[in-house]
Amino acid sequence: MKVTETMIKKRKVKDRVLQTVTLISSSISVLILIMLFFFIFQKGAGSLSFKLLTDDYWAKNYLLDIPAEQTGTYVKPANLPTDSFWSVKYGFAVTDALSHEKQKLILIEYIDPASPLAKMTDASSGPNFGKAQLISVGMQIQKIGYVDINGDTRSAGTIADQNAKTLVDTLDSSALTLNQAYIKTTGGGIRGSIVSTFYLILISLLLAVPIGIMTAIYLNEYAKYNRFTPWLRSSIEMLTGVPSIIYGLMGMVVLYPVTALFKASGTSILLGGLTLSVILLPTVIRSTEEALKVVPDNFRDASLSLGANQAQTIFRIVLPSAIPGILSAILLSLGRIIGESAALIYTMGTFVNDSPTVLTGGTSLAVHIWSLMSGEQPNFALASAISIIILIIVLVLNISVKLLSGRLRKTWQ
């Protein structure tokens, strides 16, 4: 067939149209990604801090009695921040701050060792009643009760809608004696959710990776072509499309008796890890099988010709050569674990646990975001800050796996 000039022109036009469509599609994808990152960082960057990573989510409350002998003249320390306010009469400094939820706080900046606030005792009923309770820097003052010069009992602090300056001015000018204080920690941190997420990663990978690799070895190296093998592969691929919320229901019904054997009552991180390991199996199996297929048959033939049996060939030659592909499967699994929420709502629960263990409930970072956004007043700022942390964790894990994969590849080459 003779190629004419008209045909050449039509082919060029077609190529340009296809290139344009490809460019537009790629640009739209990049634009959506940029918009996503811009929105998350715009909303959440202001809430990021080291305290967010290390603080408990639930604030601890302290109702405290203040000793009778209180007043004096306290010298302001020279190293106090310029935005803090010093009480000359009672010897403590406070500063204004915002919580992770953007609520106004009055935080303790410094307490003089001789200040009455350094000698307070627990006023709540319980085993610690009457015992000394030390208050540390960073705690927030909700209320300080005092008796004014007219003998009336009044309150100062956040509950009275005051800021740090107004609190200090009120106590120094109007308070005759202080009687009781309501102090609490700031709270709002995600330390417990970070711990729960890493527990979840550990349990899920310990179960899913060995089982998935062994299944892939059977399918690629041992299984003969018959009616059973294609059906097994189809079943594994079908599991990939099952909604994760159905896996969550399955975990509650099928896997809960297993966790009960380990004395786990109700939802637990162990139950969530078992459920996620089932979810990850199709990904690990398919990715590992593809990695095994890439290994040249010459490797197998050379090993067998030197006297090794099939098992030795698989575990000493084929499997090490497929490690980079297996690491990619683990990387995909990590992303699925960190981003999963629907299945974990049923199996781990939605209560934020500041001291999670394997046998108790907790929230992963993704479920923590769901909890923040499911209430009547969604907290976009804190949810976006946690999203940034998730992206950073995923990025670090990606880089780590890529570096490890590249080093192993160079070693074996």
pLDDT tens figures, 205-215: 999 999 999 99
pLDDT score for 409: 67
User: What residues contact 260, with CB distance under 8 A and at least 6 apart?
Assistant: none
Give residue 202's Cα distance to chain centre: 14
Q: How far apart are the first and last CA of the chain?
A: 48
Prediction pTM value: 0.82
254-291 pLDDT, tens per residue? 898 889 888 888 889 999 999 999 999 998 998 898 88
Domain that holds residue 69: 60-184
289 lies in the same domain as 167:
no
* Mean confidence (pLDDT) of the chain: 86
Q: Using 50, 70 and 90 to split pLDDT, how confident is the model at 102?
A: confident
Residues 351 and 287 sit within 8 Å (Cβ to Cβ): no
Average pLDDT over residues 71-75: 80
Instruction: Please check whether residues 268 and 397 belong to one and the same domain.
Output: yes
d(CA 92, CA 85): 8
Residues 297 and 377 in one domain: yes
Q: CA-to-CA distance for 267 and 200, rounded, in angstroms?
A: 13
Closest CA to 236 of 286, 168, 274, 293: 286
In this prediction, residue 129 carries a pLDDT of 84
| Averaged pLDDT for residues 30-38 | 88
What is the percent of the chain with per-residue pLDDT over 90, rounded to a whole number?
Answer: 24
Confidence of residue 399 (pLDDT cuts 50, 70, 90): confident
98 pLDDT tier (thresholds 50, 70, 90): confident
Is residue 54 in some structural domain? no
In a domain, 49, yes or no: no
Whether 219 and 352 map to the same domain: the answer is yes
Least Cα distance to 183 among 123, 136, 143, 148 occurs for 143
Q: Which residue has the higher pLDDT, 85 or 405?
A: 85
Does residue 26 belong to any structural domain of this protein?
A: no
Given a contact cutoff of 8 angstroms between Cβ atoms, the answer to whether 70 and 192 are in contact is no
Task: Give me the CATH number covering residue 384.
Answer: 1.10.3720.10
Shared domain check, 166 and 217 = no
- Alpha-carbon distance 365 to 339, whole Å? 8
Tokens 């609520």 map to which residue?
Answer: 103
Residues near 113 by beta carbon (within 8 Å), at least 6 away in sequence: none
pLDDT score of 297: 84
Higher pLDDT, 5 or 290: 290
Tokens 């459920």 belong to residue: 275
Q: Which residues of 299-334 are buried (b: 16+ CB within 10 A; e: fewer)?
A: ebeebeeeebeeeebbeebbbebbbbbbbbbbbbbb
| The pLDDT value given to residue 128 | 82
- CA 250/CA 279 separation, integer angstroms: 11
Shortest CA distance to 408 belongs to which of 320, 331, 295?
320
For 228-264, how does the pLDDT look when each residue is reduced to its tens digit (9 = 90+)?
888 888 888 888 888 888 998 888 888 988 898 888 8
pLDDT band at 373 (very low <50, low <70, confident <90, very high): confident
Predicted local confidence at residue 305, as pLDDT:
86
Residues 87, 150: one domain?
yes
Contact 329, 291 (CB under 8 A): yes
Residues 6+ apart with CB under 8 A from 263: 359
Residue 278 · residue 250 · CB < 8 Å = yes
Residue 53 resides in a domain: no
Same domain, 348 and 260: yes
Alpha-carbon span 410 to 413, nearest angstrom:
5
Residue 64 and residue 116 in one domain:
yes
Residues 96 and 225 in one domain: no
State mean pLDDT over 11-35: 89
Stretch 38-55: mean pLDDT: 84
Same domain, residue pair 79 and 171: yes
Confidence of residue 410 (pLDDT cuts 50, 70, 90): low
State the average pLDDT over residues 166-172: 91
What tens digit of pLDDT does each residue of 50-64 get?
A: 888 888 888 889 999
pLDDT band with cut points at 50, 70 and 90 for residue 412: low
Do 83 and 140 reside in the same domain of the chain?
Answer: yes
Per-residue confidence (pLDDT) for residue 2, from 0 to 100: 59
Q: What does the block give as tokens for 323?
A: 């490690």
Decide if 248 contacts 275 (C-beta within 8 A): yes
User: Has residue 316 got a pLDDT over 80?
Assistant: yes
Residue 226, judged by CB atoms within 10 A of its CB (0-12, 13-18, 19+), counts as exposed
Tokens of 184: 């609490």
- Counting the structural domains of the chain, the total is 2
The residue whose two tokens read 């970070």 is 194
